[in-house]
Amino acid sequence: IGVGLVGFGLFFLLFGMLLYFDSVLLAFGNILFLSGLVFIIGFKRTFSFFFQRPKMKGTSFFLGGIVIVLMRWPLLGMLLEAYGFINLVR
């Protein structure tokens, strides 16, 4: 279930970007991606990954970008998410 949710999330994110940053598709993709991540590694491990002390800057930008996309500012939100994602995996 988790891999399917992550796959559909990435598909909707890509499709949302191809359709000139459609905010509904991007928001749906973000929600599916995060819920798939929770199904794959579990809620506790997902929470501990995002809220580690050294990764708080990346987490705040990533989750803030999701909120901005949900508020229908898709381009700015995706830029914030990309910056946060880079800081999370670095």
- Residue 63 confidence (pLDDT): 95
- Residue 26 confidence (pLDDT): 96
What global pTM score does this model have? 0.90
Mean pLDDT, rounded, for 4-13 = 97
Q: What is the per-residue pLDDT across 20-76, written as a single tens digit (0 to 9) for each?
A: 999 999 999 999 999 999 999 999 999 999 999 999 999 999 999 999 999 999 999
- Residue 69 confidence (pLDDT): 95
DSSP three-state, residue 20: coil
**For residue 86, what pLDDT band results from cuts at 50, 70 and 90?**
very high
- Measured between alpha carbons, how far is 37 from 28 in angstroms, rounded to an integer? 14
- Measured between alpha carbons, how far is 23 from 29 in angstroms, rounded to an integer? 10
- Measured between alpha carbons, how far is 48 from 43 in angstroms, rounded to an integer? 9
Q: What is the per-residue pLDDT across 9-20, written as a single tens digit (0 to 9) for each?
A: 999 999 999 999
